[in-house]
Structure 1
Amino acid sequence: MYFAALLARTEDGWKASDTELDDVETLSDLADLAREASTDDDTVLVLIEQEDAWFGVVRLDGEDDPRIYVSDAAAAARSSYGEILLTDELLGRDPDGDDDLDALDLDGTEDGEPDEDADDEEGGGAGTGTADSAVPHGPVGDAEVLDDLGVTEKELRALSGDAVGEIAEALGASDVLETVR
């Protein structure tokens, strides 16, 4: 089960709204949705959580590019909402994918060339995928995304369970978040 909420910082404190992500297909769509919740280009946080599997924080400050943190990239990659956050840039991938290296297996052979180790009984062939198809287990992104708001990198990395609730509590926004849960 997923939960997603927008927290917008205003002069009067944090304002929360739950958000429906069904029509969001890209990070750009998500950023546009978040900016609509903002007044005067204030800070907006998009908090997304899948029950104890992973959580993500997207921060927008005015027209700046979104800053993203995902607690477990591999778990998020198995989620349609997580895939929105896991951009090529965040994962350190070449977005064009037109490198000559893409035609090489990890063992250095080109696609279509026989791998001499493939017939090895012990399965010693290393060419089982491409380097840019791997998604790391564990956190990715800007772990300092909430530092100036009172949640340090160490605290963010240590969150589990109800991470969204813990973030809201640290921001002083747990009451407004509860109104949209």
Structure 2
Amino acid sequence: MYFAALLARTEDGWEASDTELDDVETLTDLADLAREAAVDDDTVVALIEQEGTWFGVVRVDGEDDPRIFISNAAAAARSSYGAMLTDELLGRDEPVADDLDSLDLDGTEDGEPESAGEEAEETDPAGADDPVVPHGPLGDPGLLADLGVGRSALLALDTDALSEIADALGCTDVLEAVR
């Protein structure tokens, strides 16, 4: 189960809104949603969490490209929204295919491993065992440094990370109101 919220910075502090991710399929969709919540093109922080397994932070400043941080890329890659962020950070154009009817580049059909060790890789459509997905943080750990959450503090967060981020931003009550 996911929890997602948008925190929009205003002159009077932060405003939070519970975010439905049902229509979000790409980072561009998420960035557009964040920009819609922005006040005067100010900073919007999207917080996404999956049951304490991983959390992600996406920062959108006006029309600048979004900045992303994921606490555990390997865990995130096994979920739809986490995979969307992980793929973006790793520069993957398209998510790992889960269509088992296609042919591999070597001409064998998916599901027909050349050796016993390859079967697990080919049957994991989420790419969780993909060697390029790190088992740990991925992205820009400094994306909230100017807002009070330094690089080392963000990297050290584990359980209840979103509450700790909200506390550092000074908007704990605002975030808890949408939880």
Name the TM-score, length of structure 1 as normaliser. 0.79
**What pairs with 1:62-81 in structure 2 (closer than 5 Å)?**
62-81=62-81
Instruction: Name 1:165's counterpart in structure 2.
Output: 163
State the one-letter code of the partner of 2:90. Answer: L
1:146 aligns with 2:144: yes
Give 1:176 shift: 0.5
List structure 1 runs of 4+ shifted beyond 2 angstroms.
110-113
Residues in 2 aligned to 1:31 and 1:92: alpha-carbon distance in whole angstroms: 17
Q: 1:122-153: CA deviations, max 9, x gaps?
A: x7x89x869xx432211110110100001111
Point out the more displaced range, 78-87 or 150-159: 78-87
Indicate the structure (1 or 2) with the bigger Cα radius of gyration: 1
Which of 95, 106, 114 lines up with 1:111 in the alignment? 106
Residues in 1 aligned to 2:49 and 2:32: alpha-carbon distance in whole angstroms: 20
State the one-letter code of the partner of 2:106. Answer: D
| SS class of match (1:82) | helix
Q: 1:62-106: CA deviations, max 9, x gaps?
A: 000000000011101111111221234x1155x38xxxxxxxx9x
State the one-letter code of the partner of 1:150. Answer: G
Residues in 1 aligned to 2:121 and 2:3: alpha-carbon distance in whole angstroms: 33
State the one-letter code of the partner of 1:172. Answer: G
Residues in 2 aligned to 1:44 and 1:83: alpha-carbon distance in whole angstroms: 21
State the one-letter code of the partner of 2:87. Answer: T
For structure 2, the residue ranges without an aligned partner over 5 or more in a row are 95-103, 109-113, 123-129
State the one-letter code of the partner of 2:47. Answer: L
Residues in 1 aligned to 2:134 and 2:44: alpha-carbon distance in whole angstroms: 27
| SS class of match (2:178) | coil
Residues in 1 aligned to 2:72 and 2:84: alpha-carbon distance in whole angstroms: 14
| RMSD between superposed Cα atoms in Å | 2.7
Residues in 1 aligned to 2:41 and 2:8: alpha-carbon distance in whole angstroms: 10
Residues in 1 aligned to 2:84 and 2:24: alpha-carbon distance in whole angstroms: 8
| SS class of match (1:179) | helix
1:174 aligns with 2:138: no
Instruction: Name 1:21's counterpart in structure 2.
Output: 21
For structure 1, the residue ranges without an aligned partner over 5 or more in a row are 97-104
Q: 1:46-73: CA deviations, max 9, x gaps?
A: 0001122100000000000000000011
Q: Would you say how many aligned residue pairs link Structure 1 and Structure 2?
A: 160
Name the TM-score, length of structure 2 as normaliser. 0.79
| SS class of match (2:64) | coil
Residues in 2 aligned to 1:39 and 1:147: alpha-carbon distance in whole angstroms: 21
| SS class of match (2:65) | coil
Residues in 2 aligned to 1:16 and 1:22: alpha-carbon distance in whole angstroms: 18
Instruction: Name 1:91's counterpart in structure 2.
Output: 90
